[in-house]
Each structure stands twice: as C-alpha cells, then as structure tokens.
C-alpha cells in the first residue's frame, strides 16, 4: 500500500482527481475537513482522523486521504469520492495531523507517513495522504474528545471493536521485527606509496522495532569474500564464517533484544585507501569535488590485507542479509552499494580518523532495492562539504 500511496503522491493533484468516483475500500478512506479554509483542526476533524488511523493500524494498514469529500452511491450504497476540497495552508496542517497521531491515539502511531499534495491552482492549499502501516504494538485506541474507543477497519468501514476482539488482539502472539543498518568507521591508518591506507570496521546495526522481545536473534550475511570476518564474541552473539563471504551471527537462547533496543555488531573489516595529496588538499583547502574524484580511491587491497586482491571492491559492494529470531519470521534484504556510495562512505570514515566522527548509513525497509544516495545520517559540521 505504501507504493500505491507514493505513486499517487508523485502524480500530484491530478492523481487525487483521478480518484473521483472511486469507492472507499479496506485500505482507502476519504475525509473532508470540516472547514477547508481554516488552518486548525476542529474537534470533529481530530475525531475523524484518530478513528480512521487507529482502525487501519488495528487491521492491515491503509491510507487516509484528507481533503476529499464523499457521497453515497445509490446503486452500491458505498461511499465514493465526489469532490476535491483542498485545505488551506496545508503544510502547517501537517504538523497538526502529526500531533493527532501522537496525542489522540494510544499507543501513539509513530511510524505513520504524511505526504502533502499541493493544489495546482493554489500551491498554498492541498491534500494530506496519511499512510498507516499495520501495527505491531496494538490495539490502538482513539482518545479524541468523547471517544476512548477501539476501532478496526472491516471491509470499507471503520467499526467499533467489541470486547472479544480487543482481548484477542492484546493476547495474540506476535512476532519480533527488526530494522537494520550498517556503520563504517576507520580504526587505524598508515601512509605508504603516496596513499593513506585504512582498515575500518563494517558493523551491523540491529534495532528491534516491534513490541515483542526478540529471542535468540540470528543473522546470516553473504557478501564479497574480500571482506574479512571478525571472528569474536559480540556481547553474547557468536560470529562464525561458514563459507568464503558468508558469515553467521547467532545469539543463544539467553540472548534477548528487547523492544526498541539496538545492538551494534562488528562483523567485517573493510580496507580502502585515498591518495595522500588529495586528502591533505581537502584538509588544508577544502574542495570536496577534487577529494571525491574516482581515481583517488581504492577499495579492497592495502598493507593490512596483502592477501586480498587489489581493487576487489572497486565496482561496489553487494550484501545479502537474512534476519531471524526464535520468534521472528526470517526476512531477506539486499543492499547494493555502488562505487560512488563507497567513496562517500570511505571519505567520511577517513575524516572520522581526524575528527572522531562515526559514519553511519541505514536501510529501514525490508525490501530488495538500492540504498538511497543520501546514506549518511551522522557527520561533523566540519566535514559537511562532502555533500551527502
């Protein structure tokens, strides 16, 4: 559903207009604002939003399209989109909607996504696409004024949950779920042959994003054999290299990853080098374009690992990862880091040696796709010229 929502968003107001005549469904709800010219949400607006988003979260997720009026089709007796009613100062209203998701829903919906579609006629006006994924931490209650009720999406309607439904949802056995990412940082460097040569650590960052404690987490990582595994005890996790390029990181039955807890697991060493003159030029004069030039960088071979084929990572790095736990369904992810991604990551890591700055990049969705080009989420202001 998120792909449908983003595709609709990419089409702008024309995409919203194409929905006129479409009936509401299990995953789509239309709502008009009480007063589209007002910049604040009425109590009724808050009630409508809280009810619908809680209903989606307690079912299979869905999208609330805010700014579209409906009418009942006489033939089908279903509510269908009938009129666009763009909302004034829609950007400001986005913050109010986020407040409803946090303050008028319990537990709060922190993983919703709000996409703003501007009106073609008046860009100050527009519509809000409120995407709600299926929740792992429900049931969620609407706590808007006069509410304190549980709702669930059933068919094309959002209905009250009875006591049995609420009880079953509270007692149901859920699976743990992970968000993962990677962190690269240099640990040591030497100068030789006109280059600064680095040996860095490539670490797996694991976060339990569910409301259930993960029991005996397990990760299988397959990547380029040029990456050497760090065979050691990782805070209760054991690391095993099963085949060339394949590593397993396993937690025993006594290893638990609690909800929202994060673990950093140093898995590989990664080697790279940069032309010493380019590095020193950047330190003294700035100029990221020159520093990042392709021919200044080499990956996979340097003095720390003479047995690794030179330039073995120069075309980029692919990583396949399987995540699982005793109470989590195995999921497979594929990360593709192109050469330019590696250069940017390595450049920050090399400067981290000077400024003690970690380099981090992450992939949040469990999908097989390339990482976005903006991979860095932590860096010192002094090295912002890298331009990520």
Give the chain as a 3 state SS string: CHHHHHHHHHCHHHHHHCCCCCECCCCEEEECCCCCCCCCCCHHHHHHHHHHHHHHHCCCEEEEEECEEEEECCCCCCEEEEEECCECCHHHHHHHHHHHHHHCEECCCCCCEEEEEECCCCCCCEEEEEEEECCCCCCCEECCCCCCEEEEEECCEEEECCHHHHHHHHHCCCCCCEEEEEEEEEEEEEEECCEEEEEEEEEEEEEECCCCCEECCEEEEECCCCCEECCCEECCEEEEEEECCEEEEEECCCCEECCCCEEEEEEEEEEEEEEHHHHHHHHHHCCHHHHCCHHHEEECCCCCCCCCCCCCCCCCEEEEEEEEECCEEEEEEEEEECHHHHHHHHHHHHHHHHHCCCEEEEECCCCECCCCCCCCCCCCHHHHHHCC
- Start and end residues for every CATH 3.30.950.30 domain found in the chain: 2-171
pTM: 0.51
pLDDT of amino acid 2: 83
| CATH topology assigned to domain 2-171 | 3.30.950
Residue 177: phi, psi to the nearest 5?
A: -145, 145
Which of 216, 251, 217 shows the shortest CA–CA distance to 234? 251
pLDDT of amino acid 77: 86
Hey, which CATH number is domain 178-386, 2.60.40.10, 2.30.110.10, 1.20.1080.10, 1.10.287.1080? 2.60.40.10
pLDDT of amino acid 312: 57
Q: Going residue by residue through the chain (388 aa), what tens digit of pLDDT does each one get?
A: 788 999 999 999 999 999 999 999 999 999 999 999 988 999 999 999 999 999 999 998 999 999 999 999 998 888 999 999 999 999 888 899 999 999 999 999 988 999 999 999 999 999 999 999 988 778 999 999 999 999 999 988 999 999 988 988 887 756 788 888 877 665 677 787 888 888 877 888 888 888 788 889 999 998 877 777 776 656 778 888 777 778 888 888 888 888 888 888 888 888 888 899 998 888 888 888 888 898 898 886 443 444 444 455 777 778 888 988 888 878 888 888 788 877 887 887 787 743 333 333 333 222 222 333 333 233 222 333 333 3
The per-residue pLDDT for range 110-147, each reduced to its tens digit, is: 889 999 999 999 999 999 999 999 887 789 999 999 99
pLDDT of amino acid 245: 74
pLDDT of amino acid 71: 94
- Start and end residues for every CATH 2.60.40.10 domain found in the chain: 178-386
Residues 265 and 249: beta-carbon distance below 8 Å: yes
């Amino acid at each position: 559903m998120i792909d449908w929502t983003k595709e609709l968003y990419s089409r702008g107001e024309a995409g919203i207009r194409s929905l006129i005549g479409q009936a509401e469904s299990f995953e789509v709800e239309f709502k008009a604002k009480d007063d589209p010219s007002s910049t604040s949400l009425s109590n009724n607006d808050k009630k409508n939003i809280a009810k619908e988003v809680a209903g989606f979260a307690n079912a299979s997720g869905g999208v609330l399209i805010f700014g579209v009026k409906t009418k009942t089709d006489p033939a089908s007796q279903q509510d269908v989109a009938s009129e666009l009613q763009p909302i004034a100062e829609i950007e400001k209203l986005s913050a109010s909607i986020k407040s409803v998701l946090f303050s008028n829903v319990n537990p709060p919906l922190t993983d919703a996504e709000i996409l703003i579609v501007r009106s073609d006629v008046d860009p100050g006006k527009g519509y809000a696409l409120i995407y709600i994924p299926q929740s792992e931490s429900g049931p969620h209650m609407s706590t808007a004024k006069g509410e304190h009720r549980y709702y669930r999406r059933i068919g094309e309607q959002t209905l009250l949950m009875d006591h049995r439904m609420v009880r079953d949802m509270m007692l149901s056995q859920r699976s743990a779920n992970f968000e993962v990412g990677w962190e690269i940082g240099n640990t040591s460097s030497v100068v030789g042959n006109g280059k600064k040569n680095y040996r860095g650590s490539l670490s797996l960052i694991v976060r339990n994003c569910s409301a259930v404690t993960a029991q005996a987490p397990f990760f299988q990582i397959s990547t380029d054999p040029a990456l050497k595994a760090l065979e050691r005890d990782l805070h209760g996790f054991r690391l095993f290299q099963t085949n060339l390029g394949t590593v397993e990181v396993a937690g025993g039955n006594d290893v638990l990853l609690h909800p929202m807890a994060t673990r950093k697991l140093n898995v590989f060493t990664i080697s790279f080098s940069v032309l010493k003159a380019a590095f020193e030029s950047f330190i003294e004069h700035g100029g990221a374009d020159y520093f990042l030039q392709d021919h200044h960088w080499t990956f996979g071979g340097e003095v720390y690992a003479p047995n690794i084929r030179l330039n073995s990572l120069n075309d980029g790095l692919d990583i396949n990862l399987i995540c699982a736990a005793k109470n989590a369904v195995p999921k497979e992810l594929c990360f593709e880091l192109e050469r330019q991604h590696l250069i940017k990551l390595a450049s920050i890591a090399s400067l981290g040696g000077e400024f003690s700055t970690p380099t981090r990049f992450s992939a949040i969705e469990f999908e097989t796709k390339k990482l976005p080009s903006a991979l860095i989420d932590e860096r010192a202001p002094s090295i912002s010229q890298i331009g990520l």
